[in-house]
Amino acid sequence: MSNESTASSNFIEDIIESDIRNNKNNGEVVTRFPPEPNGYLHIGHAKSICLNFGLAKKYKGRCHLRFDDTNPGKEDVEYVDSIMEDVKWLGFDWGRHLYYASDYFDRLYDYAVQLIKEGKAYVCDLNADEIRKYRGTLKEPGKESPYRNRSVEENLDLFARMKAGEFANGERVLRAKIDMKSGNINMRDPVIYRIQKSEHHRTGNIWCIYPMYDFTHCLSDSLEEITHSICTLEFENNRPLYDWVLDELKVKRHPQQIEFARLNLNYTVMSKRRLLELVKGGYVKGWDDPRMPTISGLRRRGFTPEAIRDFCERIGVAKADSVVDIALLEHCLREDLNRRAARVMAVLRPVKVIIDNYPEGKTEDLQAENNPEDALAGTRMIPFSRELYIEEEDFMENPPKKYFRLSLGQEVRLKHAYIIKCKRIVKDEKTGQVNELHCSYDPKTKSGSSEENRKVKGTLHWVSAQHAADAEVRLYEHLFSKENPDSGEEDYKKNINPLSFELLTGCKVEPSLLNVKHGTNYQFLRQGYFCVDPDSSGKMPVFNRTVSLRDTWAKIKKKEGK
Ligand code: ATP
Ligand code: MG
């Protein structure tokens, strides 16, 4: 269903529409996308971005971009910048609504003081290990901290001194005073402030205590007057704490937290911790390695924002976790690229063809259509001459039956050009490798001309040897060879696909591919979709294979009769 439609299409839209009908929040819809700037965004984040910005658009509200930057040790401006770039590239706009949790540090501190004054928070001297032991388990209730009943005055004094830097990391924390016997472990006096003496990328060294996620998130939502705070399922058990903080502090705005199932994809890992390890450990070439599930990796690979948005819409929003087949993502991409990518000819593993009866020194310009799926895409001219390259695998000396490509004595059509017949093979005397294929052409078979008089089964792509440009081509497969590479049975890095990257140098591409713009998508005829890599130079274009032409998703659906 399209974004523009008014019918609700999932349970979150049902909630929002009911709220609008009841004039809750004056009928306003305000959402937010709250990344922690500790890594690059991935395709899972894209789902959350499309959902939050999509809802704001559909219900004429607004969506904030808020950096959840309360963890100075792990965060960096590099991540902040990349996140903004990726959200924009996906096609969304937060307008003037860019926020940082660190903007609220003063107010969050005041809220914490308010809790202390009301006897609802206390400074605790247990260390992290002890706190864990006292917390109990799902089956056993927790035990109260010996520091739980400190006086308000003592708590205020200690908290101020925590802020002033008098204590070491981990020496003391501030905890909410809730219920150590609660069935929900999150409610057993959770830590809401910790000491961490590290420099923050925005507040520098002003603070040495930092608020925890559960305290920060609900209050940031409330301060920004968010109406619907949408997050992934693992936060379901944090919702009572989200509500407790806002209720106890009697804030004016109490957003509703709604959980949905996160996106999981097969043949991929998606946790930021894992992705960081792949980058730092040199298993990939960076966050934007075209095999990474990051937005920047997908972009470099040649994915379009349209295809990613389409994918996010098709997978929908559910309340139960599932794993989506990466073939669906590729299917959405092929559908989009099929409409927009110009068809060109590129020979990845070239072998020379010499047309003996074609005049030496002659060049013909042949007309080629740019995209049969796009009436406005027009045509271009491609040069044809006596010496050409075709794909090595398009010739076989001893072909099996029903081989319709080139072999001795067999005819094939050269796309946009003539029918040729192979007469003679020249091999390297030592290695036996085919060096040249000597052919003849039939001048009465020019494509599109009135003389074109017969058909043959095979059509090959080719380039003119003297006109072709040299190119480098990078082929990619799934980064992991196992569907579920991170099942916990073994180190997920053992499942990295050793064939996920193949470098082809010495490729020959048609001359229109010199000086092409980074990011442009092409279909190399018969080979797949390719995208111009930023490593390209004026003399040597570099192409990433985005995806092959084989659509396994469409095949699966056909089998299922859908
Ligand atoms: P990770 O768990 O991989 O370290 P995270 O979820 O903690 O990442 P955040 O920066 O906190 O990363 O995520 C920002 C927002 O994106 C959150 O609202 C989170 O729920 C959402 N999000 C993260 N991963 C996914 C996913 N796989 N599918 C849908 N939403 C996601
Ligand atoms: Mg998170």
| 28 and 173 housed in the same domain | yes
Average pLDDT estimate for 157-186: 98
Evaluate: CB of 37 within 6 angstroms of ligand 1: no
| Predicted pLDDT of residue 488 | 86
φ, ψ (nearest 5 deg) of residue 492: -60, -25
CA 494 to chain centre: 22
Average pLDDT, the chain: 95
Query: Residue 461: CB within 6 Å of ligand 1?
Result: no
The CATH number of the domain holding residue 182 is 3.40.50.620
Does the beta carbon of 262 sit less than 6 angstroms from any atom of ligand 1? yes
Angle between helices 11-21 and 43-58 (to 10 degrees): 30
Give the confidence band of 553 by pLDDT, cuts at 50, 70, 90.
confident
CA-nearest residue for atom 26, ligand 1, is: 44
Interval between CA 271 and ligand 2 midpoint (Å)? 10
**Active site (annotated) includes residue 272:** yes
- Give pLDDT, residue 489: 85
Whether residues 323 and 371 fall in one domain: no
Torsion of CA 104, 107, 111, 114, to 10 degrees: 170
Does ligand 1 come within 6 angstroms of the Cβ of 263?
Answer: yes
Ligand with smallest separation from the Cα of 37: 1
Same domain, residue pair 269 and 256: no
Of 237, 260, 283, the residue at which a domain comes to its end is 260
Ligand nearest to the CA of 39: 1
Same domain, 30 and 70: yes
Cα-to-centroid distance, 51 and ligand 1 (Å): 13
pLDDT tens per residue, range 258-298: 999 999 999 999 999 999 999 999 999 999 999 999 999 99
Answer for the pair 1, 7: CB distance below 8 angstroms, yes or no. Answer: yes
Is 3 part of any domain?
A: no
Which CATH number do you get for residue 431? Answer: 2.40.240.10
Q: Where does the pLDDT of residue 238 fall: very low under 50, low under 70, confident under 90, or very high at 90 and above?
A: very high
Q: Which positions ≥6 away from 360 have C-beta within 8 Å?
A: 386
Per-residue tokens: 133 = 């032991």
Shared-domain flag, residues 35 and 110: yes
Do 59 and 183 lie in a common domain?
Answer: yes
For residue range 70-106, what is the model confidence (pLDDT) as tens digits? 999 999 999 999 999 999 999 999 999 999 999 999 9
* pLDDT at position 449 over 90: no
Mutation choice for ligand 1 from 10, 52, 220, 232, CB with most ligand atoms inside 8 A: 232
pLDDT of residue 2: 43
Cα 182 to chain centroid distance, Å, stands at 39
Locus of tokens 């309360």: 70
Q: What is the pLDDT of residues 413-443, one digit of tens each?
A: 999 999 999 999 999 999 999 999 999 999 9
How far, in Å, from the CA of 434 to the mean position of ligand 1? 53
Domain boundary among 240, 260, 280: 260
Q: How many structural domains does the chain have?
A: 3
**Which positions ≥6 away from 431 have C-beta within 8 Å?**
none
Is position 18 within any domain?
yes
Interatomic CA distance for residues 159 and 172, integer angstroms: 9
- Ligand 1 center from residue 33 Cα (angstroms): 10
Q: Is the pLDDT of residue 562 over 70?
A: no
Ligand 1 centre and the CA of 425: distance in Å?
A: 58
pTM assigned to the model: 0.94
pLDDT, residue 260, reads 97
DSSP string, 436-476: EEEEEEEGGG-TTSTT-----S-EE-EEETTTPEEEEEEEE
167 and 29 in a common domain: yes
68 CA distance to ligand 2 centroid (A)?
Answer: 8
Share of the chain above pLDDT 70, in %: 98
Choose the residue to mutate in 10, 31, 47, 48 for probing ligand 1, maximizing ligand atoms within 8 Å of C-beta.
48
What is the atom index within ligand 1 of the atom nearest the CA of 273?
4
Minimum-distance ligand 1 atom for the alpha carbon of 41: 10
Segment 132-149 mean pLDDT: 97
Residue 518 and residue 447 in one domain: no
Residue 4: predicted pLDDT: 47
Strands 364-369 and 62-67: unpaired
- Res 116: pLDDT: 98
Q: Residue 2, by phi and psi: left (phi above 0), alpha (psi -120 to 50) or beta?
A: beta
* Whether residue 71 is found in the same domain as residue 205: yes
Q: Tell me, yes or no, whether 427 lies in a domain.
A: yes
Ligand 1 touching residue 42 (CB < 6 A): no
Predicted confidence (pLDDT) per residue in 303-339, tens digit: 999 999 999 999 999 999 889 999 999 999 999 999 9
Q: Is 360 a catalytic residue?
A: no
Residues 378 and 233 in one domain: no
Which bound ligand lies closest to the C-alpha atom of 231?
Answer: 1
Inside any domain, residue 4: no
Going from the Cα of 142 to the center of ligand 1, the distance in angstroms, rounded, reads 30
Pair 226, 34: CB distance under 8 Å: no
Average pLDDT value for residue range 488-503 = 95
Distance CA 395, CA 33 (A): 54
Q: 406, 436, 461: which is the final residue of a domain?
A: 461
Concatenate the DSSP letters of all residues of 272-338 into one string: HHHHHHHHHTTSSSSTT-TTSSBHHHHHHHT--HHHHHHHHHHH---SS-EEE-HHHHHHHHHHHHH
- What does DSSP assign to residue 159? H
The verdict on the CB of residue 270 being under 6 Å from ligand 1 is yes
**Which of 38, 49, 68, 262 is the pocket-test mutation for ligand 1 (most atoms within 8 Å of CB)?**
262
d(CA 346, CA 367): 16
pLDDT at 454 over 60: yes
User: Could you list the residue range(s) of the whole structural domain that residue 443 is in?
Assistant: 346-461
Q: Side chain identity at 158, as an amino acid letter?
A: L
Residue 66 has pLDDT above 90, yes or no: yes
Would the pLDDT of 3 be above 60? no
**Ligand 1 proximity of 322 Cβ (cutoff 6 Å):** no
- Claim to verify: residue 273 and residue 213 sit in the same structural domain: no
Burial class (CB in 10 A: 0-12, 13-18, 19+), 25: buried
Is the domain of 217 the same as that of 283? no
Q: Answer yes or no: is pLDDT of 558 > 90.
A: no
Tell me, yes or no, if 96 is annotated catalytic.
no
Whether 227 maps to a domain, the answer reads yes
Ligand 1 within 6 A of CB of 446: no
Residues facing 464 on adjacent strands = 388
Neighbour count for residue 54 (Cβ, 10 Å): 19
Specify if 6 maps to a domain: no
CA angle in degrees (0–180, nearest 5) for 113-119-121? 60
Q: Which regions of 510-548 does DSSP assign to beta strands (E)?
A: 521-524, 528-532, 542-547
Cα dihedral value 265, 268, 273, 275, nearest 10:
-130
One-letter amino acid for residue 123 of the chain: V
Which ligand has the shortest distance to the CA of 67?
Answer: 1
Does the CB atom of residue 272 touch ligand 1 within 6 A?
Answer: yes
**Binding site membership of 230 for ligand 1 (Cβ less than 6 Å):** no
**CATH code, 482:** 1.10.1160.10
Is ligand 1 within 6 A of the CB of residue 45? yes
Residue nearest to atom 7 of ligand 1 (CA): 36
CB 210 within 8 A of CB 196: yes
**One of 47, 272, 334, 413 is an active-site residue; which one?**
272
**Does residue 350 belong to any structural domain of this protein?**
yes
* Measured distance CA(22)–CA(17) in Å, rounded: 9
Enumerate the β-bridge partners of residue 521: 531
Joined tokens for residue 102 = 């660190």
- Write the pLDDT tens digit of every residue in 259-268: 999 999 999 9
Tell me whether residue 5 is in a domain.
no
Residue 34 near ligand 1, beta carbon < 6 Å? yes
pLDDT in the model for residue 1: 41
Note the ligand closest to the C-alpha atom of 322: 1
Q: Please identify which of the residues 28, 36, 387, 436 carries the catalytic annotation.
A: 36
Mean pLDDT of the region 377-404: 95
The larger pLDDT score, comparing residue 321 to residue 119, is at: 119
Render pLDDT for 194-235 as a digit per residue (tens, 0 to 9): 999 999 999 999 999 999 999 999 999 999 999 999 999 999
